[in-house]
C-alpha cells in the first residue's frame, strides 16, 4: 500500500508540475502583488503607491511570503521568485491532500493488500485552469498548499480523538486561523474548523490553547489593517463589493467552467466510487458508552466522518459564495478552491477486496471490479479533459459573459507564449508608449489612455511658481490612469502614481457604487475627470483632452471637499501617527461602507454641497448684458 501511495503521489505531483510549467505565465494581477512587494522592499510600506495606504492584494500571506523570499533571494527577479513559490506551493498542495486522504483510509486498510490510486487529484490537475493558475503569480498555489495542509492535519486530529496532544491541537488551530490571511473568504473554512475544535475540546485550557493559537495572528493583523488601511477588508473586496450578489452572472460563470470539460461526469463517477467505498468498508462497532453531553458532542465532531463532511461542505459553501458573488472574469479561477475542497476525501482511493461481513467472495470481486472500472473512467476523462480546447474561439474575446482565458489572452496580446516578466508586458498595447510619454513630460503630467495604442493623452501638471523653480534634475508629479495596473506599475518607477478606474489601487474609485450591468470584476468605472480634479494638473482647455468636461472637473474638485469623502481619503493619505491609527480603527467599518456617486454633479447633491457656477453662461436666447 505504501509503495502504491508514493508512486501515486510522484505521478500526480510530476504531472501537475510538468503541466503547470508548460503553461507558465505571470498574470497582470500577479504583477500588482509584485508592485506592493517592491514598495515593501524599498521601505515605503505595504502599499501600491507610496504615500497612499491601499491594500491592493487580496492575499496578505502571499504578499509577505514573496517579500520574505525576495529578500532571501537577493538579486533574483521578483517575477522568478513568485513563479518558483507558486509552482512549489501548488505541487505541495497536491501532495499534502493525497497524504491526508491516504491517512483517512489507513485504519480500514491495516493489514490488507490494497492499491492507493490517484482519483480526485487527477480530476483537479486535468482541468486546464488548474494548471494555468498554478504559476500565475496569484495566490492559487498558496491556497492549494493551505487546503492540503489543513486537510492533512484535520484527518490526524479526527483520528486522535481523546489522545489529541497539545502540539497537534495548536498546529491545526494555527493553520485554521491563517485562513483569513490566505484569502478572506477562506474564513468560512478555517473559522468553522476552529469552532469544531473548540466544541470538541476537553477542558477550558485546551479551548484557550485553540483560541490563542488560531486567533492571535489574524486578530493582530486585523487591528493593523484597520489602523493602517482604515478598512476591515482588503480594498479589493471594496472594489468588487464582495458582499454583493449577482446570482445570474455567477451561474454563467459556473457553467463556463463546467461545459468545456463536462466536469459533472467525473464528479458523478467519484460520488459512486465514494458510495462503494463506504458500503464495502469493514463493519465497525458504532455503539459507545453513555456519557455527558459534552463527550457525545466531542465524539460527534472529532471523527473522520465529521472531517469528510466538513471539507466537502466547505467546498460547496465556497462554490455557493462565488456563484452568489458573480464569479470572476478569469475562466475558472475562483471556483478552483471549491473543486479542490470537494475532491479532497477522494484525492486517492483504495482498490482492495471488500471485507464487509456477509459479502461473498464473488460479490467482493464484483465490487472491486466496479471500482476499478470507475477509476479507469475517471482516468480516461482526465486524459480527455487535459487536452480539451477549453473555451475555444471565445478564449481571448471579451464576449457578453465577460469571461476570458486570462493566460491565453495575455499570451496573444503580448506575443509571448509565456509572458513571465514585466519586460514581456512591454509588448502589450500602450506599454512602451507610456514610457515614452513619461520621458517626454519631465515637468509632470496625468497620462490617460488614448484611442491610439501608440499615444497617451497628456494633462500637464501645474507648473511651479516662477520664483520657486524645481531643482535641476527633479521631475514633476506623474500619475497614470489605466486598467492594467500590474504591468504598468512594474514597468514604471515607484515615484509614478498608478491608479485605475475600477478601484483596486484607487481609493476614490473603490468607494463608488457597483454597476449592475458591467463586466464582472470590472464593475466600477470612475470617470477620468476625477483624476484631473484631485491632482496638481491644469484643469481647463486647451490642456485637457476633448472628451473631458471642464464643468465636470470643477464639480469633481468641489465634490472632493465633501467632509465624509475627505475623512475617508485622509484615512489613507494623511500622515500616520497614533491618533490617526486609532481613528482609523474606530471608523474602519464606516469607511468600508461609504460610497460616492461617480457623476460629480450627483455627488455634490448627495453631499449637500454648493454646485460651482458654470464657466460658460447658459444660452437663454436673450441678448447678453454688460458694459
DSSP designation for 23: T
**Is the torsion defined by CA of 121, 126, 127, 130 positive or negative?**
positive
Residues written for the chain: 627
3-class state of residue 523 by DSSP: coil
Q: Give tens-digit pLDDT for 390-426.
A: 998 889 998 889 999 999 999 999 999 999 999 999 9
- Upstream peptide bond of 566 is cis (omega within 30 degrees of 0): no
Q: What are phi and psi of 620, to 5 degrees?
A: -115, -10
Rounded CA separation 575/570 (Å): 8
Q: How far is CA 393 from CA 260, 401, 411, 445, 455, in A?
A: 12, 14, 15, 40, 30
pLDDT score, position 618 = 63
pLDDT score, position 485 = 94
pLDDT score, position 376 = 96
Rounded CA separation 596/85 (Å): 39
pLDDT score, position 619 = 61
DSSP designation for 537: B
3-class state of residue 96 by DSSP: helix
pLDDT score, position 352 = 80
Instruction: Name every residue whose Cβ is closer than 8 Å to that of residue 273 and which is 6 or more positions away in sequence.
Output: 119, 346, 349, 371, 374, 375, 378
Whether this prediction's pTM lies above 0.75 is answered by: yes
Rounded CA separation 191/199 (Å): 12
**Is the torsion defined by CA of 170, 175, 181, 186 positive or negative?**
negative
Rounded CA separation 205/166 (Å): 10
pLDDT score, position 261 = 96
Q: Give the strand pairing for 478-481 and 497-499.
A: parallel
Q: Give tens-digit pLDDT for 537-548.
A: 999 999 999 999
Burial of 332 (0-12, 13-18, 19+ CB in 10 A): buried
3-class state of residue 542 by DSSP: coil
Say if residues 12 and 94 touch (Cβ distance below 8 Å).
Answer: yes
pLDDT score, position 264 = 96
- Residues of the chain where predicted confidence (pLDDT) is lower than 50: 285-290, 627
pLDDT score, position 622 = 67
3-class state of residue 383 by DSSP: helix
pLDDT score, position 75 = 92
Q: What are phi and psi of 349, to 5 degrees?
A: -130, 145
Query: What is the distance, to the nearest Å, from the Cα of residue 6 to the centroid of all Cα atoms in its chain?
Result: 31
Residue appearing with cell numbers 500619475: 479
Amino acid at each position: 500500500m505504501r509503495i502504491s501511495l508514493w508512486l501515486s503521489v510522484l505521478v500526480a505531483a510530476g504531472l501537475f508540475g510538468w503541466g503547470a510549467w508548460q503553461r507558465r505565465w505571470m498574470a497582470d494581477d500577479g504583477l500588482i502583488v509584485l508592485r506592493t512587494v517592491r514598495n515593501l522592499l524599498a521601505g515605503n510600506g505595504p502599499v501600491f503607491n507610496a504615500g497612499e495606504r491601499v491594500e491592493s492584494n487580496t492575499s496578505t500571506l502571499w504578499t509577505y511570503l514573496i517579500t520574505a523570499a525576495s529578500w532571501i533571494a537577493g538579486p533574483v527577479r521578483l517575477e522568478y521568485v513568485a513563479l518558483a513559490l507558486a509552482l512549489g506551493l501548488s505541487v505541495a498542495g497536491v501532495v499534502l491532500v493525497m497524504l491526508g486522504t491516504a491517512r483517512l483510509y489507513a485504519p480500514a486498510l491495516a493489514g490488507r493488500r490494497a492499491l492507493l490510486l490517484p482519483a480526485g487529484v487527477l480530476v483537479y490537475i486535468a482541468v486546464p485552469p488548474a494548471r494555468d493558475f498554478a504559476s500565475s503569480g496569484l495566490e492559487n498555489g498558496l491556497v492549494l498548499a493551505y487546503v492540503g495542509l489543513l486537510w492533512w492535519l484535520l484527518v490526524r486530529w479526527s483520528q486522535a480523538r481523546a489522545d489529541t496532544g497539545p502540539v497537534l491541537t495548536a498546529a491545526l488551530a494555527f493553520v485554521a486561523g491563517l485562513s483569513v490571511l490566505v484569502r478572506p473568504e477562506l474564513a468560512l473554512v478555517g473559522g468553522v474548523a476552529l469552532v469544531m475544535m473548540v466544541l470538541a475540546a476537553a477542558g477550558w485550557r485546551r479551548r484557550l490553547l485553540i483560541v490563542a493559537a488560531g486567533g492571535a495572528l489574524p486578530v493582530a493583523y486585523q487591528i493593523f489593517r484597520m489602523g493602517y488601511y482604515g478598512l476591515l477588508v482588503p480594498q479589493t473586496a471594496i472594489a468588487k463589493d464582495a458582499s454583493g450578489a449577482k446570482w445570474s452572472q455567477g451561474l454563467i460563470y459556473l457553467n463556463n467552467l463546467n461545459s468545456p470539460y463536462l466536469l459533472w461526469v467525473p464528479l458523478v463517477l467519484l460520488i459512486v466510487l465514494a458510495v462503494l467505498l463506504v458500503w464495502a468498508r469493514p463493519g465497525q462497532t458504532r455503539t459507545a458508552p453513555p456519557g455527558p453531553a459534552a463527550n457525545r458532542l466531542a465524539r460527534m465532531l472529532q471523527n473522520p466522518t465529521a472531517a469528510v463532511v466538513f471539507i466537502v461542505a466547505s467546498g460547496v459553501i465556497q462554490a455557493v459564495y462565488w456563484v452568489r458573488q458573480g464569479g470572476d472574469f478569469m475562466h475558472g479561477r475562483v471556483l478552483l478552491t471549491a473543486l479542490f475542497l470537494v475532491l479532497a476525501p477522494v484525492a486517492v482511493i483504495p482498490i482492495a477486496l471488500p471485507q464487509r461481513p456477509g459479502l461473498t467472495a464473488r460479490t467482493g470481486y464484483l465490487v472491486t471490479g466496479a471500482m476499478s472500472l470507475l477509476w479507469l473512467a475517471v482516468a480516461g476523462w482526465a486524459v480527455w479533459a487535459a487536452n480539451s480546447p477549453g473555451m475555444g474561439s471565445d478564449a481571448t474575446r471579451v464576449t457578453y459573459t465577460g469571461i476570458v482565458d486570462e493566460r491565453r489572452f495575455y499570451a496573444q496580446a503580448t506575443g509571448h507564449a509565456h509572458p513571465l516578466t514585466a519586460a514581456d508586458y512591454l509588448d502589450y498595447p500602450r506599454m512602451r508608449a507610456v514610457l515614452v510619454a513619461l520621458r517626454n513630460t519631465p515637468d509632470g503630467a496625468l497620462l490617460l489612455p488614448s484611442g491610439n495604442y501608440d499615444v497617451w493623452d497628456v494633462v500637464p501638471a501645474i507648473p511651479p511658481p516662477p520664483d520657486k523653480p524645481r531643482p535641476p534634475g527633479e521631475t514633476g508629479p506623474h500619475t497614470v490612469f489605466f486598467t492594467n495596473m500590474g504591468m504598468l506599475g512594474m514597468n514604471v518607477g515607484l515615484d509614478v502614481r498608478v491608479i485605475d478606474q475600477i478601484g483596486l489601487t484607487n481609493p476614490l474609485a473603490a468607494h463608488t457604487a457597483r454597476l449592475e450591468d458591467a463586466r464582472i470584476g470590472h464593475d466600477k468605472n470612475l470617470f477620468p475627470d476625477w483624476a484631473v480634479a484631485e491632482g496638481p494638473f491644469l484643469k481647463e482647455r486647451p490642456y485637457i483632452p476633448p472628451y473631458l468636461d471642464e464643468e465636470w472637473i470643477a464639480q469633481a474638485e468641489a465634490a472632493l471637499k465633501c467632509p465624509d469623502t475627505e475623512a475617508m481619503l485622509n484615512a489613507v493619505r494623511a500622515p500616520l501617527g497614533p491618533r490617526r491609527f486609532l481613528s482609523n480603527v474606530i471608523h474602519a467599518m464606516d469607511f468600508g461602507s461609504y460610497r460616492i456617486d461617480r457623476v460629480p454633479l450627483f455627488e455634490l447633491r448627495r453631499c449637500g454641497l454648493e454646485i460651482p457656477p458654470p464657466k460658460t453662461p447658459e444660452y437663454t436666447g436673450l441678448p447678453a448684458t454688460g458694459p
